[in-house]
Amino acid sequence: YACVGGASMARPLLKIQRYFRRKPVRFFSFILLYLTAGSLVFLHSGFVGDSSAGANRGRDPLLASQLGKRVAEGAQMNGRVFKETRRPTLRRYGPPWMKRAAGKDSHDWEGRGGDYTSSWNRALKGRNAKDLDDGRAKYIGCYIDNTAKRALRGVSFFDYKKMTVFRCQDNCAERGYLYSGLEFGAECYCGHKIQAPNASDSECNMECKGDKGNLCGGANRLSIYRLELSQESLRRYGSAIFKGCFHRPDNVTLALPISAVIQNMSVEKCVDMCTEKELPLAILAGDMCLCGYPTRHFTLHEMEEEDMCLHRCHGEEFESCGNDEYFVVYQTQVQDNRCMDRRFLPTRSKQLIALASFPGAGNTWARHLIELATGFYTGSYYFDGSLYNKGFKGERDHWRSGRTICIKTHESGKKEIEAFDASIVMIRNPYKALMAEFNRKYGGHIGFASQAHWRGKEWPEFVKNYAPWWASHTLDWLQYGRNVHVVHFEELKRELFSKLKGMVLFLGLEVAEDRLLCVEGQKDGNFKRSGLRKLDYDPYTPEMRASIDELVMTVDSALKKRNMAGVPKEYRPTLR
């Protein structure tokens, strides 16, 4: 019976084998489906574990810790394939006293990128955008629009699936426009002035494709908002950035090789001409338009009072076009390629130099500046796929490879610090750094945390845990670092040329002046948040400020003991 039973069971297996032997494609398809199904089950279990960890926050600490460890084990198995296959012993950065519970929030450290308007819209769900006048934008009304004569004549973009009022506002604000308008539920237009008559509000009746609770214009009708821009955004003209008023260089022909007289001169005409010539600077001098690069003959370092350039453009009465002696300078969208080439070090460095900072202190921005100024990639103690995709090719190298000019790290502690031979320590105003890291944690590298996060329990808990780490991070590097070069974020912004030059020299490289001038024009990169979405209230309570001010004084004293300059006065707003 056993033999008969075995033979009867073997027959179906033989049939399956013959079936797949005749059709090998079916066999591989079956294997692919099997693996896909297994992967989906595996991922689903990881998400379920993550949500259960979030649900248990705020409960018994011991229980939360145990749950966090279990979630971390599952998350590491899932994420290690992408993030840490080459660094199995690497820890995610965080305050030293929080590292035991790192599993609980492990996925948050990687910076959730993507469209940050979704979290913003969730926080405002149920409220109509036309009713919101919260200091960011004000609804003006419904206006007539047509393809022959646009009401708003700046840039435009369309999204027939995800368009929202706030997404349109953010895009226009980032480019420095005063107005944003939405049409057909999916089209966004920007402009400096409205050039069309208004219509009845009832004619702007189409729902936004990405937010059914709000209206985004109508058929040939624009829902227009006036944007309340930051001071920095106001220095733009569409895609061009206003650089200032400058005195005529000694040798104009040498400094600015391209020039032309333009009838009815306007900013737009000069910017368009220089953009077409593929040059990064557009200079207005009365009816003359000049184009060129920032060089040692025209550095843009000695700015004049803007009153010296107040000379009305013949083609646009509200614009200034400068004159024969004082030039109005704009930076076009054309990229200055003199500092864009980057590569790994030709020979492996025997010295490991850290670029150390508290999260939110401008480390990624500093890496961008260093790479442009030196022409060499920077490395990282971690691996962030989103930064790798933005061009930080050293992100994938092991931090000890010796192929990068310096290594980003947020670590602190004696053992971690002594692994480096020297370090550039970035310090930023704690009030700004904490808010920047909070935005990054809940909105990605250039996104924003939603109002729900700021108003909820996340912000107070974040300040409680992270403010002490801001101080201890700097204190540890000052104590255990072998050769420390301190750079304050705010001073780097104000004095970019001189401070970046000092960083390049500290890295042991020669300074190329034209390259540094190029960096000044490309300083923002892709790491700047738009000028629109700012908090309209102070998120810090008096208790928070008292605690942070005390930490600031501690760091100030430690710097002075090392014969370094103390922290800038702006770090201590309540102690002035």
Q: For the chain, give the mean pLDDT.
A: 79
Domain match, 148 and 265 both? no
Bigger pLDDT: 194 or 96?
Answer: 194
- If asked whether residues 251 and 199 sit together in one domain, one would say no
* Confidence bin at 52 (pLDDT 50/70/90): very low
Mean pLDDT of the 436-451 span? 78
Is residue 76 situated within a structural domain?
Answer: no
Share of the chain above pLDDT 90, in %: 52
Q: What angle do CA 426, 432, 437 make, to 5 degrees?
A: 80
Q: How high is the pLDDT of residue 14?
A: 61
User: Could you give the CA distance from residue 145 to residue 9 in angstroms, rounded to a whole number?
Assistant: 75
Identify each DSSP E strand in 404-504 by its residue range. 407-409, 422-427, 484-488
Backbone angles phi, psi at 224, to 5 degrees: -110, 135
| 436 and 547 together in one domain | yes
Place of tokens 């009305």: 312
- Would 342 be classed as within a structural domain? no
Q: Is 80 exceeded by the pLDDT of residue 472?
A: yes
Highest mean pLDDT range out of 23-32, 153-162, 538-547? 538-547
* 3-state SS track over 250-262: CCHHHHCCEEEEC
Q: What is the pLDDT of residue 197?
A: 92
pLDDT confidence of residue 538: 87
All residues at 6 or more sequence positions from 366 whose CB lies less than 8 Å from its CB, including other chains: 355, 357, 424, 426, 487, 492, 503
Distance CA 202, CA 199 (A): 8
Question: When comparing pLDDT for 133 and 411, which is higher?
Answer: 411
Residue 483 clears pLDDT 90, i.e. is over it: yes
Q: Has residue 319 got a pLDDT over 50?
A: yes
Eight-state DSSP code of residue 185 = T
pLDDT at 490: 93
Q: What is the structure's pLDDT at 101?
A: 45
Q: Indicate the residue type of 390.
A: K
Same structural domain, 320 and 363: no
Do 160 and 222 belong together in one domain? yes
- Do 168 and 249 belong together in one domain? no
Q: Of 206, 227, 248, which residue sits at a domain end?
A: 227
Considering only CA atoms, which of 436, 464, 469, 528 is closest in space to residue 176?
Answer: 528
What backbone phi and psi angles, to 5 degrees, belong to 189?
Answer: -125, 145
With beta carbons less than 8 A apart as the criterion, state whether 197 and 230 touch. no
The counts of H helices and E strands in the chain are: 17, 22
**Confidence category of residue 434, pLDDT binned at 50, 70, 90:** very high
Q: What is the pLDDT of residue 298?
A: 95
Domain stop point among 171, 202, 227: 227
Helix/strand/coil for 110? helix
What is the three-class DSSP state of 486? strand
Indicate the DSSP class of residue 320: E
pLDDT digits (tens, 9 = 90+) for 145-189: 988 889 998 888 898 888 999 889 888 887 777 889 999 999 999
pLDDT band at 513 (very low <50, low <70, confident <90, very high): very high
Q: What's 319's domain CATH number?
A: 3.50.4
- pLDDT at 4 exceeding the cut of 50: no
Cβ 289 vs Cβ 282: under 8 Å: yes
Distance of CA 6 to the CA centre of its chain: 66
Output the pLDDT for position 410.
95
Q: What are phi and psi of 316, to 5 degrees?
A: -155, 105
What's the mean pLDDT in 506-519? 94
293 Rama sector, left if φ>0, alpha if ψ -120 to 50, beta otherwise: beta
Length of the chain: 576
Say if CB 468 and CB 430 are below 8 A apart. Answer: no
Query: Are 137 and 190 spatial neighbours (Cβ–Cβ below 8 Å)?
Result: no
CA distances from 361 to 46, 438, 527 (A): 32, 12, 12
- Bigger pLDDT: 70 or 453? 453
Residue at 344 is within a domain: no
CA atoms within 13 A on the CB side of 533: 27
Q: Is the pLDDT of residue 380 over 90?
A: yes
The whole domain housing 154 covers: 137-227
Give residue 292's pLDDT: 95
Same domain, 277 and 242: yes
Select the more confidently predicted residue: 127 or 266.
Answer: 266
Is 537 among the domain residues? Answer: yes
Kindly state whether residue 21 falls inside one of the protein's structural domains: no
Confidence bin at 446 (pLDDT 50/70/90): low
Q: 412 and 537, same structural domain?
A: yes
Residues 193 and 253 in one domain: no
Of 191 and 119, the structure prediction assigns the larger pLDDT to 191
| Rounded (10°) angle between helices 458-480 and 542-561 | 10
Q: Among 227, 245, 277, give the residue marking a domain's end.
A: 227
Least confident of 32-46, 245-259, 332-346, 364-378: 32-46
Decide if pLDDT at 534 tops 70: no
Whether 43 is covered by a domain: the verdict is no
User: What is the average per-residue pLDDT within 446-466?
Assistant: 87
The upper half-sphere exposure of residue 552, i.e. CA atoms within 13 Å in the direction of its Cβ, equals 22
- Do 254 and 292 share a domain, yes or no? yes
Residue 70 resides in a domain = no
> Does residue 37 surpass a pLDDT of 90?
no
Q: Assess whether pLDDT exceeds 70 at residue 72.
A: no
Instruction: State how many domains the chain has.
Output: 3
Sign of CA dihedral 488, 490, 495, 497: positive
**Please, which pLDDT band fits residue 49 given cuts at 50, 70 and 90?**
very low
More confident residue, 409 or 312: 409
Is the pLDDT at 495 greater than 50, yes or no?
A: yes
Among 76-85, 223-232, 527-536, 559-568, the minimum mean pLDDT is found in: 76-85
- Give yes or no for residue 8 having a pLDDT over 70: no
Quick check: is 41 in a domain? no
- 287, 311: one domain: yes
Q: Parallel, antiparallel, or unpaired: how do β-strands 258-261 and 316-320 relate?
A: unpaired
513 and 464 part of one domain: yes
Which tens digit of pLDDT belongs to each residue from 340-366? Answer: 999 999 999 999 999 999 998 999 999
CATH number for 483: 3.40.50.300
